Amino acid sequence: MRVLIPEDWTRVGRIDPTEKLELTFALRQQNVDQLEHLLLLVSDPKSAQYGKHLTLQEVAALVRPSQLTQKVVRHWLQSHGVTDCQTILTQDFLQCTMNTQVAEALLPGIEFHRYVRDGISLVRSSSAYHVHEDVLQHLDFVGGVHRFPPKGQDLNEVLTKRRRSGAKFHLGNTPATLRSRYNLTAADVGSAQNNSQAVAQFLEQFYHPADLAEFMTLFGRSFQHLSKIDRVVGVQGAGKAGLEASLDVEYIMSTGANIPTWVFTNPGRHETQEPFLQWMLLLSNMTDIPWVHTISYGDDEDSLSSAYMMRINTEFMKAGVRGISILFASGDSGAGCRHLTKGENSFRPSFPASSPYVTTVGGTSFKNPFKVTYEVTDYISGGGFSNVFKMPDYQVGAVEGYLKAVPGLPPKTYFNTSGRAYPDIAALSDNYWVVTDRVPIPWVSGTSASTPVVGGILSLINDQRFLKGLPSLGFLNPRLYQLQGQGLFDVTDGCHLSCLDEQVQGQGFCAAPSWDPVTGWGTPNYPALLAALVLEK
């Protein structure tokens, strides 16, 4: 069996047998069903356990691999001479260093090669590995072998497309625009002592402190704010600032204003590391982390193994049950398009956007680009239905209502009507002003813009909850769907893009009253959403 290598990666040669590699072993956890049950209880306002989040130590005691699993995996590694291993607090991951020859003996079938793209070098195998069945039942996957990082959304490319589309003039989205549209006043800033928020950055993306300071000087004068990151977890790369990273930091800190903000950054200490996986491990190894995390990262579902995605879902559950809110961008390809055999197509959902255990954020545009007015669908806003995860109970009523009420849906051969549907919520996603390398740049667009905006607003709501002695929002979706649009501006106009073929002619799903798979429940009306989410039960 061969593993599909993305076309934009070039193989440059076999790895020397003595070269060191670092692989991550995901040990099979215990009580995953109980973890999911607890997550839904602590996230449901109708439950007596609502808001009674677990500590990391309690999570570890629940899911920690059995003694047998730990013994079998460690014995297997040691029998191949692998002894340089580190674990984490929950003991469900091992990160081990070994040379290439040992790795290829440990995982028969693999051959490590070096691949390059845009100056980035990775070590991966294009062939599948085999693990003895006695060990296989104790492992979910081995990281650092197959998965290539997805090519990040080129925000400069989006900028160019916007200009070509004929939208030559635009008001432009700034903190003032967003705060006006979502009804944030100058007084709506953080003040609680125990509040914090975070962005996570991968794919060689880094922010520069000077850009953040310049951005706040230009756009943050009308409200109290912070101009410095509270903590960087990981190593910031050198060189030019990344547009994506600058966008994330500047807008979570200007929406969630005056709230301490962390940046998780991981370019990968080694060519076999997977930065996204490294971030997930950090969440399970830190007892004190921010309450809201926003991430602009995604992969096509069909490019990932089910075992990998299921395990990542468990990691999201581990975070949610601790009271942490995790937000992912829904993507910038509309419904997506997968070209199947015999000239047939289907929509292409994205992961982690399709995970049932995160809150996924779509995108909107102003109907009138010259006024702060009502919003319509941004045609790039990612959305659709998972082909892997079943529709969670918390959204069945809303999604079935959409499928029954909306005429002219795409053919059912294009999407899975029983899958987890996304996004859950949305915000403006086009024509942002961003400062990068000390220069203000307009036209920056994508759901990587809307996600930190929603994250900042949720951080402000957490702030008010903390001041009233209430717990953090945690996993938002069960409560969000119970609100049925309360506290949100419903977006009912516009469709997003999809396959360019005769059947759907480039159109995916369309917005509609209440929930829809383009903008979710709509965009935040801060005072109303605050009232809905601060009042208990």
Which residues are identified as catalytic? 244, 248, 448
Q: Spell out where 481-522 has E strands.
A: 488-489, 495-497, 507-510
With beta carbons less than 8 A apart as the criterion, state whether 521 and 425 touch: yes
According to DSSP, residue 228 is labeled S
Q: How is residue 80 written in tokens?
A: 């191949």
DSSP, res 516: B
Least Cα distance to 389 among 359, 426, 350, 361 occurs for 350
Residue 76 tokens, joined? 């297997």
In Å, how far are 9, 23, 369, 423 from 4, measured between CA atoms?
Answer: 11, 20, 42, 28
Are 377 and 510 in contact by the 8 Å Cβ rule? The answer is yes
The radius of gyration of the chain from alpha carbons, rounded to an integer in Å, stands at 23
> Cα–Cα–Cα angle for 295, 473, 535, nearest 5°?
145
Q: What is the DSSP track for 260-294?
A: -EEEEE---SSTT--HHHHHHHHHTT-SS--SEEE
Pairing assessment for the beta strands 439-444 and 432-436 based on DSSP bridges: antiparallel
- Please count the other Cβ atoms lying within 10 Å of the Cβ belonging to residue 139: 20
Residue 511 identity (one-letter amino acid): A
Using CA atoms, how far apart are residues 298 and 151, in angstroms rounded to an integer?
Answer: 9
Classified as helix, coil or strand, 75 is helix
Q: What SS3 state is found at 98?
A: strand
**Cβ contacts of 440 within 8 Å, gap of 6 or more:** 215, 218, 433, 434
